[in-house]
């Protein structure tokens, strides 16, 4: 019996390996690396400080962070899964950045870690720069668009509708109560910073300047490090806690609906909806090209594409998280995603052509984590169809440019859509037909599959032989002796990835 169970376990493992799900497409969204302060306040003692490369610039530390992130991504998608080619292949990889120096440079640094180069990848010239592995540096193109047109990666573009929602948010009981409780605190910060019109919304920017200055060893002003009343917390601590709350509100989280407006839907629709639906649309395009390999005209980009990466900002990722239904701005933590944090969106296909999505998180100071369970209303196995259905309420219809210009707009809460907007849907891309074998990884097709099933057949024969011997042996066993029983409720096998 033991032989049978062991053989059955081997059979299940081999069979599950032979029909392993196939990874079709990966999209990555990361935050740039460490930077200098992006803004400051009038009385900042370091307002004239000579930051390397100026304000809001990527630092050496930021470059290094993305070098390491590139290595982590290479480890998963090149070394572990064998999905992306070891050497840079322009038909497999497309990198897109916001048109900001620190995100462009972060993408470049990331690619050094992702594709460190190997002989034959670069000119045979002694003056060619060397990468970390002592081989030549491989230049990878980074694409971008005009900032004012980047609705996908920059959720803070001028938007009448978003401005209106944020103003309405200031009328909520939550905002009013916190403002009242923070009156004395805000008076202190106004006086010390020289910002007479300061309200709660200014605190995150002030905190950012202070945090960067502290990170680089600059002494913070006395008023920042002093205790606030008898709370036992410094002004800096209170500012940090309050900024986290403001961060939630700016993404539509932790605010009750008001005047028929559900902030948890309407704000994420504007901020994270464009990116979420771009990711979904990209996956649909990829599936179409997988199922229609001869349609070269419509699959110029996606035909062989395996990896599409976006280099953005903390608000880029936080806004996506809100549209995924996460309850916190950094997945399961307060605050915004840290420098060089990265989300990957993996598109998988099962043997029966069920397409599902995995959301992976690469925080800089933690192990890689699977966040798929946290996506609202999508289930542990988040199929692409389920993702589309649960994401309809965040679909920026009729298009994001039009929606951004809306103001004083009535909301249809029953359907969570903007009243008067055409009820347009993302077009369903036709699917072709392919056999299961067309979706097997290369190392499992053809001879590999035949050999696999041949081994399984041999194991079955051996099992039958062993079972026959065990049955003969049992005839000589003392029937009065109690036999031990093995109860197996479930047999698990390794995860598909």
Tell me the C-alpha distance between 251 and 269, whole Å. Answer: 10
Q: Which residue has the tokens 């994270």?
A: 272
Q: Are 480 and 24 in contact (CB under 8 A)?
A: no
Q: Are 366 and 72 in contact (CB under 8 A)?
A: no
Structure tokens given for 335: 């605050």
32 catalytic per annotation = yes
State the Cα torsion 245-248-253-257 to the nearest 10°.
Answer: 60
Residue 204 backbone phi and psi in degrees, to 5: -60, -40
Tell me the C-alpha distance between 156 and 145, whole Å. Answer: 15
List 32, 66, 208, 313, catalytic entry: 32
142-144 vs 22-31, strand pairing mode: unpaired
379 φψ region: left (φ > 0), alpha (ψ -120 to 50), beta (else):
left
Count helices and strands (H / E) in the chain.
15, 10
Collapsing DSSP states into helix, strand and coil, what is residue 370? strand
Where does residue 490 rank: exposed (0-12), middle (13-18), buried (19+ CB within 10 A)? exposed
Three-state secondary structure of 145-158: CCHHHCCCCCCCCC
Within 8 A by CB and 6+ apart from 471, the residues are none
How many Å from the N-terminal Cα to the C-terminal Cα in the chain?
31
Bond preceding residue 61 cis, omega within 30 of 0: no
In this structure, how many other beta carbons lie within 10 angstroms of the beta carbon of residue 189?
22
List 34, 44, 150, 314, catalytic entry: 314
Tell me the C-alpha distance between 142 and 57, whole Å. Answer: 18
314 catalytic per annotation = yes
Q: Which residue has the tokens 């081994």?
A: 455
93-97 vs 142-144, strand pairing mode: parallel
Three-state secondary structure of 277-337: HHHHHHHHHHHHHHHCCCCCCCCCCCCCCCEEEEEECHHHHHHHHHHCCCCECEECECCCC
Tell me the C-alpha distance between 495 and 356, whole Å. Answer: 14
Which residues are identified as catalytic?
32, 314
């Amino acid at each position: 019996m033991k032989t049978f169970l062991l053989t059955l376990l081997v059979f299940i493992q081999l069979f599950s390996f032979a029909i392993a799900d196939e990874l079709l497409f990966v999209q990555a969204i990361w935050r740039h690396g460490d930077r200098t302060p992006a803004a400051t306040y009038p009385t900042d003692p370091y307002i004239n400080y000579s930051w390397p490369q100026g304000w809001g610039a990527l630092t050496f530390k930021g470059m290094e962070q993305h070098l390491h992130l590139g290595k982590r991504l290479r480890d998963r998608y090149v070394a572990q899964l064998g999905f992306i080619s070891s050497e840079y292949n322009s038909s497999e990889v497309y990198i897109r950045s916001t048109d900001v120096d620190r995100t462009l440079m972060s993408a470049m640094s990331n690619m050094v870690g992702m594709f460190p180069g190997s002989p034959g990848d670069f000119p045979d010239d002694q003056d060619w720069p060397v990468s970390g592995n002592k081989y030549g540096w491989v230049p990878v193109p980074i694409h971008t668009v005009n900032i004012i047109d980047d609705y996908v990666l920059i959720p803070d573009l001028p938007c009448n509708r978003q401005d209106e929602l944020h103003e309405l948010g200031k009328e909520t009981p939550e905002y009013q109560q916190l403002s009242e409780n923070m009156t004395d605190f805000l008076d202190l910060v106004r006086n010390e910073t020289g910002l007479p019109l300061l309200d709660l919304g200014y605190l995150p920017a002030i905190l950012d300047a202070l945090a960067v200055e502290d990170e680089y060893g600059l002494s913070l002003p006395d008023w920042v490090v002093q205790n606030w009343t008898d709370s036992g917390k410094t002004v800096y601590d209170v500012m940090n806690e309050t900024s986290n709350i403001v961060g939630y509100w700016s993404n539509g989280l932790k605010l009750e609906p008001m005047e028929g407006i559900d902030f948890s839907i309407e704000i994420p629709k504007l901020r994270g909806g464009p990116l979420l639906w771009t990711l979904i649309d990209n996956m649909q395009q990829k599936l179409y090209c997988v199922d229609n390999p001869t349609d070269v005209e419509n699959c110029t980009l996606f035909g062989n594409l395996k990896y599409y990466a976006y280099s953005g900002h903390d608000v880029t990722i936080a806004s996506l998280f809100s549209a995924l239904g996460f309850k916190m701005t950094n997945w399961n933590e307060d605050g915004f995603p840290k420098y060089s944090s990265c989300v990957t969106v993996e598109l998988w296909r099962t043997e029966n052509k069920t397409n599902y999505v995995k959301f992976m998180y690469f925080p800089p100071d933690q192990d890689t984590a699977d966040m798929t369970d946290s996506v609202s209303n999508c289930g542990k196995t988040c199929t692409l169809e389920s993702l589309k259905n649960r994401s309809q309420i965040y679909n920026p219809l009729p298009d994001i440019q039009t929606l951004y210009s809306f103001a004083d707009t009535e909301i249809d809460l029953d359907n969570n859509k903007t009243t008067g907007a055409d009820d347009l849907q993302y077009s369903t891309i036709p699917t072709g037909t392919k056999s299961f074998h067309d979706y097997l990884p290369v190392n499992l097709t053809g001879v590999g599959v035949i050999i696999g099933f041949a081994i399984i057949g041999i194991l079955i024969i051996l099992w039958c032989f062993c079972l026959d011997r065990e049955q003969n042996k049992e005839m000589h066993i003392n029937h009065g002796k109690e036999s031990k029983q093995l109860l197996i409720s479930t047999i698990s096998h390794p995860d598909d990835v």
